[in-house]
Amino acid sequence: MIFMKILTYLFILNSCYSFKFYNYIHHNLDRKLNMGCDYYIEKNLYIYYTNEVLPFSLNLERDIGYYFEINDDKVLDILDNDDYIVKWKKLKKYHLEPRLNPVIIYSNNSFHDSYLAKKYKSMIEYEINYSYKKWNDIKEMIIVEERYEKN
């Protein structure tokens, strides 16, 4: 009997304060997942097949960025002595420039790095089986970092 009263009390309490407690937790979780940003950073794997013109792309990683993140000495140099519009253009140019040079991880029917082979082989095999291809059909695979502004 006491257990039922406690459950009833907790139910009423939760329903009365659901906006403050339950929605607050979910609002913060949604906010972290869908937080506003200035630009996106993506690492994509492009698979070039021998008999196809356009590559197949797999998204490996996606992150968000902000123009006014001060985590680099170059950003501090940009912010030093120009007017606002010039600073804004320099910051956009700096942050939208990819940091990772394109890396060829597979060509001539072999991986170039054993670490990358372990990391991506299962994902690539799934894509190859899904598209009814074979490993011999792949000309090369390249990892490319792309940065672009949020629409």
Q: Residue 31 pLDDT > 60, yes or no?
A: no
Query: How would you class 34 by CB atoms within 10 Å of its CB: exposed for 0-12, middle for 13-18, buried for 19 or more?
Result: exposed
Q: Are residues 61 and 50 in the same domain?
A: yes
Q: Are residues 24 and 75 in the same domain?
A: no
Range of the domain at 4: 1-35
Q: Are residues 125 and 52 in the same domain?
A: yes
Q: Are residues 80 and 7 in the same domain?
A: no
pTM, 2 dp: 0.67
Please, which residues bridge with residue 61 across strands? 43
pLDDT tier for residue 88 given thresholds of 50, 70 and 90: confident
Q: Are residues 67 and 124 in the same domain?
A: yes
pLDDT digits (tens, 9 = 90+) for 38-83: 889 999 999 999 888 889 899 999 998 887 766 666 666 666 666 7
CB 48 within 8 A of CB 142: yes
> Residue 150's pLDDT is what?
81
Least confident of 12-26, 29-43, 92-106: 12-26
Strand order across the beta sheet in which 56-65 lies? 56-65, 39-49, 138-149, 103-107, 110-111
Task: Tell me what the mean pLDDT of segment 34-41 comes to.
Answer: 79
Distance (Å, rounded) from C-alpha 25 to C-alpha 12?
19
Q: Are residues 95 and 124 in the same domain?
A: yes
Q: Are residues 125 and 113 in the same domain?
A: yes
Q: Are residues 74 and 143 in the same domain?
A: yes
> Residue 105's pLDDT is what?
93
Query: What single-letter DSSP state applies at residue 48?
Result: E
pLDDT tier for residue 7 given thresholds of 50, 70 and 90: low
Q: Are residues 94 and 108 in the same domain?
A: yes
Q: Are residues 45 and 31 in the same domain?
A: no
If one counts the domains in the chain, the total is: 2
Q: Are residues 51 and 111 in the same domain?
A: yes
pLDDT digits (tens, 9 = 90+) for 117-146: 999 899 889 888 888 888 888 999 999 999
Q: Are residues 44 and 112 in the same domain?
A: yes
Task: Tell me what the mean pLDDT of segment 30-39 comes to.
Answer: 64
